[in-house]
Amino acid sequence: MDEDMETELAEAKKRRDEELAYVMGHALGRRFIWRLLHQVCAIDASNFSSDAMMLSYAQGRRDIGLDIQSALLDFDKQVFLTMEDENR
């Protein structure tokens, strides 16, 4: 990977972390993210469907949620755990 690409990726991660710090720094932000992950993206639900289109749709939603969850865990695992504790 060239140096420009590495610099760009580092800057993108820094911006992402700043955004996550802002959202996750507030109880309402943590509640919104929790609801997004568990109710909208259904990261803990089974996606099984005999309808291939419905299965693809549900799996796409879940994949987005898992990407968000991964970013949160990469950012600050303790904040993620705080969010889970507050909303269970």
Render 16-80 in DSSP notation, one character per residue.
HHHHHHHHHTSHHHHHHHHHIIIIIS-TTS----SSHHHHHHHHHHHHHHHHHHHHHHHH-HHHH
How much is the pLDDT for 88? 86
Quote the percentage of the chain above a pLDDT of 90: 91
Quote the percentage of the chain above a pLDDT of 70: 99
Average per-residue pLDDT in the chain? 95
Tens-place pLDDT, residues 29-65? 999 999 999 999 999 999 888 999 999 999 999 999 9
Enumerate the domain spans of the chain: 3-87
